[in-house]
Structure 1
């Protein structure tokens, strides 16, 4: 599916995000928004006609997902046969499960319908969830999606010893990766978050893989390696794909932290 999207591979420094960060007055204030981040429409999958079988399958699935509790913040569900098969993949952020995940799904679905009107497939990212809709369903687990990725960063640079900040941030993210891939009981959570003291400041970070992604560790380590290309020395940054994402900030941005 990743090869079918028409928009550029990467979007760096989204203006809305930059403006939002500039408006933050205190590191103690939580940024619990669910802002739209980015989208890509799968042009090569074509469009569906009103009242057709594809729309019927899509509507059935979206209604089904809206009734689920989503306790682990993830669902992959399919219905129908080609060329009218529909697959929905929803991955919510690690602090946005259950009712918060259902709410984000409703927001993302409405956004998808506006931005990819009658497209059979596409991707849309929000702060608290990722939604993929596709007419292609050929894998139960997805390989790492290197193509559909983008980065965002705080416009402000770190003023004090940026090289030390960069190293400590990278080390902390890698520490969280090990936590994310460690089984929690019998399950793989693929999510970890935490905070770390940096002198008078605190660094907040999270890492997460979509639960149907193969090679979670490899995906997260790739994201961490990509961060310097856009965001070296920035006070906050994130790198997102459909497979995994990483983020760090100098202010808390999650409801709860799973401290390392």
Structure 2
């Protein structure tokens, strides 16, 4: 009888694995995103009526295929809607989830652009076409903070990365752009993962989005028992318990045949007895999901790549060297309330020292060879860069696997914060913005001309420009910077890293970079600062598809003042505005030879009225992020060493 009970339980377990169907989603969403309204958008009656019409038909249309995209109206009333369900849930569960989400997104967000995510579905609507700007913007549901920590975060981080890499590869080649699977975590445990993209994007865009989301997932949640990162174009998730359905097509004829087969097989198993199970040979595995942890660690990095000795760093006599306990106390044990930002190599926390001084502490990833290289290079190279327009590295701390970098604290965070928030943007008058532009220019000039060695930043963008209490601009994040020799002007790479929208065309398309690549990035930021608009999310589709094109059109028409941020209308000097727009357009010319050097830019910014050369048509780039995962790709031998530091101390 005991044997029969054991086999019955075993049979029921196998059946539940095969026919597991997830419950219907509840009314509480994972996350709702209602960004600030765009200046040229209006949530008026035409828009609302068209939105309600599309949402009303969304559940039925999405339940059939798991995806739906549609639009209605024109002009200010035009609205685009897309909905997505997980392929591992049935049409009924998909329809129910979309129906709930349609009601909730209307009640929670009266804006012209919104997203809502549930376990099994998501809905996005906007006044602009979704294909116009594929920008990754990951969000972390509150549920991530409620998970208990795992016993071995290092092991989890390694196994999770391998699992997400495998699932990403499977999803980008599948018609459903979806994949789910598991990897062995220990002799008794597995980690289960799921990745998915919306079906309206290309395989390359899907891969880019999933790389970014997987990197964020590892940063936020690899030490926990589960986590989710959601975005408009993709989402990723993992748990220690299986949360997805192994079969996605419902109980059709094939499944009914399987059900009958399982019943017969169960009867046969009962007659054979438990001795059959005892005689079963030990399973031999060869797949990635069951590789030994030691093998995974060996594949991740060579042992010598993971070592940094304190003796290598002792010569830094003018730097703070702090023990782990002091930094734990300063950051309230790396509390989430003190979190300032995060990236592929670690998280940055605000800290307060016993003497009251504020610092920013970057806690590097514990099993990342990039993080180790960043730690070494920040201390041996970046620490030597001292300029009022560069963020200073103050010191370091190391204890076992813990590697921490200490920066000066920047009270006003990043320039990106001001450009993204109309309320904060209104606080910057023309003089403040002009000083920020001049500060960035001087910082780049130091890197290109005055520092030894010469450094090309390669990832200059508003989020990497920090602002101190006096709104002095300081360039940060040298994770993608490259060293140039004194006589070197240009280098090539097969590993293009950075952010589209700020990358020079010769770098984005051909892998060629130089000081002129940084000049291009500077030009984009300059135009963003004076217009109050971001190139990476430009929506003025009637006249121009990018901020650079918009600036070019207005300049050609002699209407530069229309390019100005409306908040500056009371404080701008017209001559300075025209000259600054012209400098920005000179910096973003498609041909690097036509762009000025930073020496010339600083002179032009400070010399007052001057005769400037006429800019040619700029490169019309749009915004899309390249995730830090691309750093794992090999680089050509013709380039110098990479410095690695991806998180800014904000």
Q: Is the 8 A contact 2:183 2:191 kept in 1?
A: yes
Residue 190 of structure 1, CA deviation: 0.7
The reply to whether residue 59 of structure 1 matches residue 46 of structure 2 is: no
In 2, Cα distance between the equivalents of 1:113 and 1:64?
14
Aligned pair partner of 2:114 in 105, 113, 122: 122
Greater displacement, 211-220 / 59-68: 59-68
Matching of residues 177-216 of structure 1 within 5 Å: 177-183=168-174, 188-198=175-185, 199-214=187-202, 215-216=205-206
In 1, Cα distance between the equivalents of 2:233 and 2:218?
19
Aligned pair partner of 2:135 in 139, 145, 155: 145
Matching residue of 2:210? 220
Aligned pair partner of 1:48 in 12, 21, 43: 43
Q: Is the 8 A contact 2:37 2:112 kept in 1?
A: no
In 1, Cα distance between the equivalents of 2:87 and 2:173?
15
In 2, Cα distance between the equivalents of 1:99 and 1:31?
11
Bigger RCO (CA 8 Å, 6+ sep): 1
Residue 30 of structure 1, CA deviation: 8.5
Matching residue of 1:79? 72
Matching residue of 2:157? 166
Residue 70 of structure 1, CA deviation: 3.1
Q: Is the 8 A contact 2:32 2:116 kept in 1?
A: yes
SS in 2 for 1:213: coil
Matching residue of 1:89? 82
Query: Quick one: structure 1 residues 47 and 221, their matched pair in 2 at CA, closer, same or farther if it must change by over 3 Å?
Result: same
More strand by share: 1
In 2, Cα distance between the equivalents of 1:130 and 1:158?
29
- The 4+ residue runs of structure 1 with deviation greater than 6 A are 28-31
Query: Quick one: structure 1 residues 114 and 63, their matched pair in 2 at CA, closer, same or farther if it must change by over 3 Å?
Result: closer
Q: What TM-score results when the alignment is normalised by the length of structure 2?
A: 0.32
Structure 2: unaligned runs, 5 residues or longer: 1-16, 249-288, 290-650
Q: Is the 8 A contact 1:181 1:216 kept in 2?
A: yes
Query: Quick one: structure 1 residues 60 and 148, their matched pair in 2 at CA, closer, same or farther if it must change by over 3 Å?
Result: same
SS in 1 for 2:37: helix
Aligned pair partner of 2:234 in 236, 244, 248: 244
Aligned residues: 222
Q: Is the 8 A contact 1:78 1:85 kept in 2?
A: yes
Residue 238 of structure 1, CA deviation: 1.6
Query: Quick one: structure 1 residues 142 and 245, their matched pair in 2 at CA, closer, same or farther if it must change by over 3 Å?
Result: farther
In 2, Cα distance between the equivalents of 1:228 and 1:195?
16
Deviation string 1:155-200 (CA, Å, 9 cap, x unpaired) is 31111x43122101110111111111124xxxx2110001233310
Q: What TM-score results when the alignment is normalised by the length of structure 1?
A: 0.75
In 1, Cα distance between the equivalents of 2:182 and 2:98?
28
SS in 2 for 1:239: strand
In 2, Cα distance between the equivalents of 1:85 and 1:197?
48
In 1, Cα distance between the equivalents of 2:37 and 2:92?
34
Q: Which has the larger radius of gyration?
A: 2
Q: Is the 8 A contact 1:31 1:252 kept in 2?
A: no
